[in-house]
Amino acid sequence: MAPEPFLVGLALFDLVYLLVTLALADRFFSKTPEVRDPVFSPPVSIIVPIRGKDDGIYENFLSLSRQDYPYVQVIFAVGEPNDPALSVIHRVIQDCPDRDISLVISDRKIGINDKVNNLENGYQQAKYDYLVFIDSDIRVGPDYLRQIIPPLSDDRMGLVTCMPAYRESQNLPAALELVGVNSNVFAMFIPLFLLGGMRYGSGATLAMRRQVLEEIGGFKSVADRVADDAAIGQRVSEKGYRVYLSPTIVHTIHQQYSWREYFFHTLRWNRTIRAVTPGAYISFALFFGTFYAFLVWVLNLRNVWAMAFFVSMSFIRILLMSYY
């Protein structure tokens, strides 16, 4: 049996799913945010777990330190006294003398997940009861806190999370990562949220009240988990709280990737999906429609329809990315 009909079937399935996601994305971004008090702005502590230097790390840290928000404490949490990011953190502290910025260096461990260890060590220094945990490779806008904190004015809201968008790729492996992640994140998160199945958090943003974090057992409850951000969302949901996907997009800066880095990052991404939702991982093969359409075209280079099919699949993914 020729492989083309099978590949076309897989690509068509993904095509339909992407079209549905496009329609849902339009509804998602045009929907009025679920905010009880739009000017709700309690003091906030931001905790950033750090290990090593990411691309654009100075600008990332600066974007958090210069929020247009009344009371903000920023805590950078590092596990090693010789971490290469320390010089950048000191520079940010020096460049923002009027901001409340702290540096925590501690190798204290509560589990096997080093990121969670850093989060816990930083959390111990948090002054305020509204907390934001955010990965070190994330860059945000100046009104970031004004957008993600107001939903927490509703006591039923346990967690606010955001979708990350990759930016500023400067070579082919980084560009492939950008296209794959940006379109696939939309395709995973938006249908889940709008159809009422949002139970996961993203390390791009985890905003919550201290009381909720303590209710789920604190960071000790996820210290041995691979996907700690997703696990926090699950535990919040299990306690009866809502997980809210904010329409605010934050950005991940990955300018340069080697092919080796691209391969292992993709491998880690898939391992994380398998750990969090094994069922979704098994079905993940259905969502590589653009690649399947490309294979159909390669097998039928003289067929104009095969080329048009591949171009159409690529165009829809670009449309999804345009929301970023």
Q: Is residue 292 domain-shared with residue 269, that is, in the same domain?
A: no
- φ/ψ of residue 247, rounded to 5: -70, -5
185 and 293 part of one domain: no
Same domain, 85 and 52: yes
Query: Do 295 and 213 sit in the same domain of this protein?
Result: no
Q: Within this chain, do residues 131 and 9 fall inside the same structural domain, yes or no? A: no
- Domain assignment of residue 279, yes or no: no
Kindly report the pTM of this predicted structure.
0.87
Query: What domain range includes position 108?
Result: 33-274
Question: Tell me: the pLDDT tens digits for 30-72?
Answer: 776 667 777 899 999 999 999 998 888 999 999 999 999 999 9
pLDDT for residue 90: 97
- Output the domain CATH number for residue 68: 3.90.550.10
Q: Is residue 129 part of a domain?
A: yes
Q: Is there a single domain that holds both residue 98 and residue 168?
A: yes
Residue 18 and residue 53 in one domain = no
pLDDT tens digits, 146-162:
999 999 999 999 999 99
Q: Are residues 43 and 22 in the same domain?
A: no
Rounded Cα gap, residues 171 and 200, in angstroms: 31
Same domain, 80 and 143: yes
Of the listed ranges 45-54, 191-200, 289-298, the one predicted with least confidence = 191-200
Centre a 10 Å sphere on the Cβ of residue 210 and count the other Cβ atoms it contains.
Answer: 15
Assigned domain for 49 exists? yes
Tell me, yes or no, whether 45 lies in a domain: yes
Distance CA 28, CA 3 (A): 37
Rounded distance between C-alpha atoms, residue 321 and residue 38, angstroms:
28
Residue 138, SS3 per DSSP: strand
- Tens of pLDDT, residue by residue over 163-182, are 888 877 777 877 777 777 77
What are 120's two structure tokens? 């816990």
Closest CA to 151 of 40, 68, 30, 29: 40
Number of domains in the chain: 2
Q: pLDDT tens digits, residue range 56-114? A: 899 999 999 999 999 999 999 999 999 999 999 999 999 999 999 999 999 999 999 99
Query: DSSP states of 23-83 as a string?
Result: HHHHHHHHSPP--S-TT----EEEEEEE-S--TTHHHHHHHHHT-SSSSEEEEEEES-TT-
Q: Are both 260 and 116 inside the same structural domain?
A: yes
Q: Are residues 160 and 124 in the same domain?
A: yes
Which tens digit of pLDDT belongs to each residue from 204-260? 999 999 999 999 999 999 999 878 998 999 999 999 999 999 989 899 877 677 888
Query: Is 83 a member of any domain?
Result: yes
